[in-house]
A and B are shown apart, each in its own frame.
Chain A
Amino acid sequence: GAVVSQHPSRVICKSGTSVKIECRSLDFQATTMFWYRQFPKKSLMLMATSNEGSKATYEQGVEKDKFLINHASLTLSTLTVTSAHPEDSSFYICSARGQGQLTQETQYFGPGTRLLVL
């Protein structure tokens, strides 16, 4: 149980284009989803927290107009990187927590999406 999927796993795009990443909880309802980014050999950095049906809460320094988050259902959240630039290249990971797990506090991670902006 507690499986989270992410799509795509890898994406290469041109500078200036937008990229959408999907995060799905497959066997539980995720009341809260989290979006992280991670640079090579660095720690996880929380970007935003989203609760189903409400606006996402962004961490300090994260541009909400650049990283659009939508959590329209209890099983799906999307992160759209708008007008991507090479400095947005990173490993983006979502996690989810909610009902039906062994512990409601545990975050379960998707496999991550590696974004490369040329």
Chain B
Amino acid sequence: GQNIDQPTEMTATEGAIVQINCTYQTSGFNGLFWYQQHAGEAPTFLSYNVLDGLEEKGRFSSFLSRSKGYSYLLLKELQMKDSASYLCAVMDSNYQLIWGAGTKLIIKP
């Protein structure tokens, strides 16, 4: 079967760095996405990785290792507004998105 695993909840301090991990087992791979979803709102696109390595975009970076079936989202200089759920999703061989359950990130002052 297809499976995406990410921690249910994480807590971090304002100004710090946090890494949210995602491991996956899917039938085929056509890229991995990270989305941010604030409570009561729809997801917003953060990043897309299809090749191994680190993609940096401002305070957010996303890493992919296809051989390990592993990705992480790194958030630096955390701000209170970063409190949200972070969704990992993998596009399988049929170009369907397989969604993780999301990681709720709580930022404390």
User: Are A43 and B101 in contact (CB-based, < 8 A)?
Assistant: yes
Partner of A109, one of B30, B42, B96: B42
Contacts of B30 in A (CB 8 A): 105
User: Are A44 and B41 in contact (CB-based, < 8 A)?
Assistant: no
Contacts of A44 in B (CB 8 A): 43, 87, 99
User: Are A112 and B97 in contact (CB-based, < 8 A)?
Assistant: no
The 9 A-B pairs with the shortest beta carbon distances in the complex, nearest first, are A109-B42, A112-B42, A43-B101, A93-B42, A109-B43, A111-B42, A44-B99, A103-B48, A105-B31
Q: A49 vs B96: C-alpha distance in the bound complex, in angstroms? A: 9
Q: A106 vs B49: C-alpha distance in the bound complex, in angstroms? A: 11
Q: A43 vs B86: C-alpha distance in the bound complex, in angstroms? A: 11
User: Are B42 and A43 in contact (CB-based, < 8 A)?
Assistant: no
The secondary-structure label for the interface of chain A is loop
User: Are B48 and A106 in contact (CB-based, < 8 A)?
Assistant: yes
User: Are B87 and A108 in contact (CB-based, < 8 A)?
Assistant: no
Contacts of B42 in A (CB 8 A): 6, 93, 109-112
Chain B nearest CB from A96 CB (Å) reads 12
Beyond A93-B43, A108-B45, 18 extra complex contacts between A and B, CB < 8 Å: A6-B42, A42-B101, A43-B87, A43-B100, A43-B101, A44-B43, A46-B96, A91-B40, A93-B42, A105-B91, A105-B95, A106-B33, A107-B45, A107-B97, A109-B43, A111-B41, A112-B41, A112-B42
Q: Could you list 23 examples of A-B contacts with CB < 8 Å?
A: A2-B45, A43-B99, A43-B102, A44-B43, A44-B87, A46-B96, A46-B97, A46-B99, A49-B96, A91-B40, A93-B43, A103-B48, A105-B31, A106-B45, A106-B48, A107-B45, A107-B97, A109-B35, A109-B44, A109-B45, A111-B41, A112-B41, A112-B42
Contacts of B102 in A (CB 8 A): 43
The secondary-structure label for the interface of chain B is loop
Per the 8 Å Cβ criterion, residues 42-72 of A in contact with B are: 42-44, 46, 49
Chain B nearest CB from A8 CB (Å) reads 14
Q: Which residue of B lies closest to A93 (CB)?
A: B42
Chain B nearest CB from A47 CB (Å) reads 13
